[in-house]
Structure 1
Amino acid sequence: MTNDLQIPTRPARMFIGEELEVTNWDRIQPLYDELLNRPVDSTDDLRHWFRDRSELESYLSEDFAWRYIRMTCDTSNEELVGKLNFFITEIQPHLLAYGNALDKKAVASPFLSELTEEGFAVAVRGMKKGIEIFREENIPLLTELQSEERKYGAIAGAMTVELGGEEVTLPQASNWLQSPDRAEREEAWMKIQQRRFQDKDELDELFDRLRELRHQVAVNAGFVNFRDYMFAELGRFDYTPEDCFRFHQSVAQSVVPMLNQLAGERSQKLMQGESPIDVLRPWDLKVDLYGGEPLRPFGTGEELLNKTIECFSRLDTYLGDCLRIMKAMGHLDLESRKGKAPGGYNYPLEEIGVPFIFMNATSSLRDLVTMVHEGGHAVHSFLTRDLPLKSFRTPPMEVAELASMSMELLSMDHWDVFFENPDELRRAKIQHLESIIETLPWVATIDKFQHWIYENPAHSVDDRREAWVRIFSEFSDSVTDWSGLERFKEYGWQKQLHLYEVPFYYIEYGIAQLGAIGIWMNFREDRKKGLDGYKAALKLGYTAPIGRIYEAAGIPFDFSAEYIGRLLRFVGEELDQIKAQ
């Protein structure tokens, strides 16, 4: 692929035909009816039936993906919003009902046990769980939920503040938090918080609607609460809520003390600086401790992409070629602008097999990390694109995030592409490794908060605010002074998109972060073996349970305090070595 880049084309549509368009449900229904009514009289018939179903579902998945991508690129465009909502309201409800009917047909087949190829066992257990929790009365509720969830992006995407005499998005404003000028940092932090605070009631009301709808879905499906429903819906066969609680405890025991140590060191250093501070405040947490200007690893989105391609290529030629193909196909939108939805993502495109990366780059180190993170997801899509069924190509998030978070660490040896100055490179590595120590407690905070929310579905806004502050305090450092800022702390959870749009999708970041450190440890010991293990695990897609996929990478699937402690000691040792350079 390197010299003569081969741009992939989608496979021919052998079942659905080349002219299909999602203009109304009547165009789609005959295909589902054909699958539902088709006689399956042999193992080969069943295998062919699965391939045809996968072709149809891949097409519809990609159609929805493009609607979502285009809407998030311009949330103010009513036509794009309408096209997405059309799919959610007019197509999605039918897909839920037919999907359940097709699962039942597959599970009832006497030939199912004869499909022994790798992946079918995992797919079948997922279908059986889906049948178990499906309820016809939940279809309109799930449709309403999808529409309500999308409102968060529109609210957050419209948030701007004025800094430096210009209107900027909140991602752009966050760059001011790295300014050596403390007054500038405080101004930026306060404006960001005040802007979010301005919409707190609207976001509370939206969340209340989401919580009520989600709880009703869970009750309809026979669950006590939405948390238990989501564990089933997400197919969490490999761990339980109790394992999550163990993760919370392990992080509190093994990681929060390191967080306190970092905050203490930051406080001492800033107290001794050219403009000494008296106490560590929230706007002091991102500034360089040595008085350096904010790191600017790139200027434009184009530069960010080109440098990432070079970085990936140094690590492995194949990895760089994945991004080159995406660039050639225009499958990226990287720069922040008004009206664009917040956050970043890599969206798989199931037919073509070449994903789309969306982000809000503003020339910061965080943006560099986001790019290599989403690039790791993209590589995962490429490595699984030839698996025969859509379900095989759709790994659980504990594996998907392993791909992205490992890439952050594996690529770090080549960040000199972004930082020619050795001191800046050193600062970037220190900041990133320290951010890992900060990430695990934040993941524990968000995850524990979600457990509380849905274990207490009748809670009030005041109850929720108090629970957030209590849980936030468990996993945050005891050095930073929030005096006079309590009203902002109480609503800190509202900045987390996942709580609104993808509930219970967050612990995966913590699980995968542990796995990524494990892969990085292996990479440090033997570069080739570590990288080969990483790629071997990703190639499996979802044809094996999570534990076996982690095993293929050469790492354990382990939440214990002992294991987390060992991983974090390794990170600490790496940090000490970099700081000593």
Structure 2
Amino acid sequence: MKKEILLPERKPRKFLPEDFKVENWEGLEPYYKDLLERDINTRDDLRGWLRDRSELEAVISEDAGWRYIYMTRFTDNEEYTQAYHHFVQQIQPKIAPISDKLNKKALNSEFIQELEKEEGFNIMIRELRKDIEIFREENIPIFTEMQTETQKFGQINGAMTVEVDGKELTLQQAAVILQSTDRSKREEVYHKIAQRRLQEKDKLSELYTKLISLRDQVAKNAGFDNYRDYMFKAMGRFDYTPQDCFDFHASVRQEVVPMLTELAKERKGKLNIDPLRPWDKAVDPEGREALKPFTGSKDLTAKTIECFKRLDPFLGQCLEIMEEMGHLDLESRKGKAPGGYNYPLAEVGVPFIFMNATSTLRDMITILHEGGHAVHSFLTRDLELTDFKHTPSEVAELASMSMELISMDHWELFFDNEEELNRAKKEHLEQIIETLPWVATIDKFQHWVYENPNHTEEERISAWNEIYGDFSDDVTDWSSLEENRNYLWQKQLHLYEVPFYYIEYGMAQLGAVAVWKNYKEDARKGLEGYMNALRLGYTRSIPEVYEAANIKFDFSKAYIRELMDFVKGELGRL
């Protein structure tokens, strides 16, 4: 019998009515006016004012969250799309200028310096100053247009299907066949997926060009040389610079790309083929059938909950709560946007996981990854202000990527024989060696794109190929597939939807390896460090959060070499 689960409820509201719903700007405006006009006569008044603002923002953020979730779950439902667009076009633009006034009101208070001495408030106040610095009224309509345009990427991709053996499959479902041991079948499906993507290449190129132009205008309006410099400020990257990113690219090229080439040579040898082609990259090199860690989303959910429980009962309970509340949508289907995400819901504090599972090891990793994000939401649920829960991506991705690795000790739940278990671990560790160069590729490409915003499409393709070549193995043969390679970047949703959000995966991947190393040395202490770091939310700087996990925020060649040597050693043991 399933035991009763105590479901969390949102905390009682103190500022807004309990039954308040976000419907239009007119309903929200009185609460913003109250905050704008209220007298702040003491430090406690200021703190209370910040709490009320936090409550209002949590309610709005959660409402926007549900609109986004429904739109991505059902891209073919016009009502959900319209509800999201109504928020983006009619409500959000009205909030932006008044938020700027509230930021200024807070910073102009005579009590702000007293509050700044308290943990968490110093980080939040630093963010307020940054928001004031980059706010420009003339950017509001551009943001609205940008958000409307970015949704087209999900709609274009959500509608892409191919026919294989008389069945209509989403591209995610078709990609599973690339693990088939039948090489001619892999090649056939590879071409079908590539051709389907190429049908939309012009549409996707035009969309990207338009987004680049809009983003560049935002940066220029705010007084920045380019959108990259604007985004470093907007994303609150106080702890590193573009030069650190370039150093990361160079370290990965020197320390990780040779490992990538070694893996490709090994794959080519084991498969006994010449040349190694792009459709040979996902199949098991020893000719075994693809790993199937679960059958269907119910099985995936049950196994993941048990895996988390074995790490710590609290972690399993987080996912049980989400399942019970209907906050999981895991299976791939037509009309669903691509990708996967964990959407934090600021008021109830129970996030939503969205993904496109079929049956692969990659899908299992995705639920562990998004589950790490989900746990982060639960661990920060009781922090005083919504702002304290908004962690920077470098910390958010540490939560998710570390979970992929520290959960490995319990993967026998997904694989009932040792050979398959070791194979899964090996594939995942090899994936890390593949992830770091791909992160460097996408990040370096974005730097080039926004440093050269007026580039032609030919220049973009040329820059892409040069950068892609820097971070690829030199074994895979792309002859006669040049057009596919030219547009490989179009499958990366981050370029369209969340520009400059990608380097974080690389930084957090290094952090996750370090967390795992600690966990292997002392499981209790390693897990404790991980959870302590997550509990901080964004009340400390990124290096301080990493320090709480007993790891370094560092992407030097020496550190990357040390961590990659550890990964190599673990691979050797398998």
Task: Choose from 277, 280, 291 the match for 1:281.
Answer: 277
Deviation at 1:114, TM superposition (A): 1.2
Aligned equivalent of 2:100: 100
Cα distance in 1 for residues equivalent to 2:365 and 2:189: 22
Which secondary structure state, in structure 2, belongs to the residue aligned with residue 556 of structure 1? coil
Distance 1:138 1:575 in 2: 50
| Deviation, structure 1 residue 319 | 0.6
| Cα-Cα RMSD | 0.8
Give the aligned length.
572
| 1:572 equivalenced with 2:568 (yes/no) | yes
Partner of 2:371: 375
Question: 1:361 maps to which residue?
Answer: 357
Which amino acid counterpart does residue 175 of structure 1 have in structure 2?
V
2:289 and 2:144 mapped to 1: Cα distance?
47
1:494 corresponds in structure 2 to: 490
Q: Which residue of 1 aligns with 2:325?
A: 329
Larger deviation, residues 4-13 vs 309-318? 4-13
The aligned counterpart of 2:138 is 137
C-alpha distance in structure 2 between counterparts of 1:329 and 1:502, whole Å: 28
Give the partner amino acid of 1:138. N
- Cα distance, 1:147 vs structure 2: 0.4
Counterpart position of 2:296:
300
Structure 2 SS opposite 1:21: coil
Partner residue in 2 for 1:179? 180
Q: Who is 2:458 aligned against?
A: 462
Q: Counterparts of 1:564 and 1:93 in 2: how far apart (Å)?
A: 43
Partners of 2:319 and 2:286 in 1: how far apart? 35
**Where do residues 414-563 of structure 1 align in structure 2 (5 Å cutoff)?**
414-563=410-559
Give how far 1:5 is off.
Answer: 2.6
Task: Using the aligned pairs only, state the percent identity.
Answer: 61
Letter in 2 for 1:471: I
- Give, in angstroms, the shift of residue 228 of structure 1: 0.3
Shift of 1:15: 0.2
Structure 2 runs not aligned, ≥5 long: none
Query: Residue deviations 1:6-34, cap 9 Å, x none?
Result: 21000111101112222211000110011
Q: Within 5 Å, which residues of 2 pair with 1:8-23?
A: 8-23=8-23
Please list every run of 5 or more consecutive structure 1 residues that lacks an aligned counterpart in the other structure: 272-276
Structure 2 residue 70 is matched with structure 1 residue 70: yes
Amino acid in the other structure paired with 1:382: F
The aligned counterpart of 1:201 is: 202
Amino acid at match of 1:48: G
**Shift of residue 3, structure 1, vs aligned partner:** 6.3
Matches within 5 A, 1:224-243: 224-243=225-244
Counterpart Cα distance in 2 of 1:425 and 1:98: 54
What's the CA shift for 1:485?
0.3
Partner of 2:123: 122
Instruction: Give the AA of the match of 1:26.
Output: E
Q: How big is the shift at 1:321?
A: 0.4
Residue type at the aligned position of 1:208: T
What displacement does 1:537 show?
Answer: 0.3
2:453 partner SS: coil
Give, as a single letter, the amino acid of the residue that structure 2 aligns with 1:55.
Answer: E
2:395 pairs with 1:410: no
Shift of 1:422: 1.4
Q: Secondary structure at the match of 2:169?
A: strand
Partner of 1:137: helix, strand, or coil?
helix
Q: Distance in 2 between matches of 1:63 and 1:361?
A: 26
Q: Which amino acid aligns with 2:105?
A: K
Q: Distance in 2 between matches of 1:322 and 1:19?
A: 26
What amino acid maps onto 1:128 in structure 2? R
Q: Distance in 2 between matches of 1:399 and 1:79?
A: 35
Q: After superposition, where does 1:39-58 map in structure 2 within 5 Å?
A: 39-58=39-58
1:263 maps onto 2:259 in alignment = no
Q: Give the Cα–Cα distance (whole angstroms) in 2 for the partners of residues 314 and 61 of structure 1.
A: 33
2-structure distance, mates of 1:117, 1:77: 47
- After TM superposition, give the deviation of residue 112 of structure 1 in Å: 0.7
Report matched runs for 1:242-253 at 5 Å.
242-253=243-254
| Partner Cα separation in structure 1 for residue 265 and residue 565 of structure 2 | 18
Query: For the residues of structure 2 that align with 1:473 and 1:332, how far apart are their CA atoms?
Result: 38
Task: Return the letter of the residue paired with 1:485.
Answer: L
TM-score (norm 1): 0.98
Provide the C-alpha distance between the structure 2 equivalents of 1:445 and 1:256, rounded to a whole number of angstroms.
11
Q: CA offset at residue 188 of structure 1?
A: 1.2
Q: Deviation at 1:117?
A: 2.6
Spell out, residue by residue over 1:253-281, the C-alpha distance to the aligned partner (whole angstroms, 9 max, x if none).
1100100110111111111xxxxx22100
Q: Please name the residue that 1:274 is paired with.
A: none
> Which segment drifts farther, 398-407 or 109-118?
109-118
- Give CA deviations for 1:370-415 in whole Å, capped at 9, x if unaligned: 0000000000000000001000011000000000000000001111
d(CA) in 2 for partners of 1:39, 1:571: 57
Question: Mean alpha-carbon deviation: is it higher for 441-450 or for 419-428?
Answer: 419-428
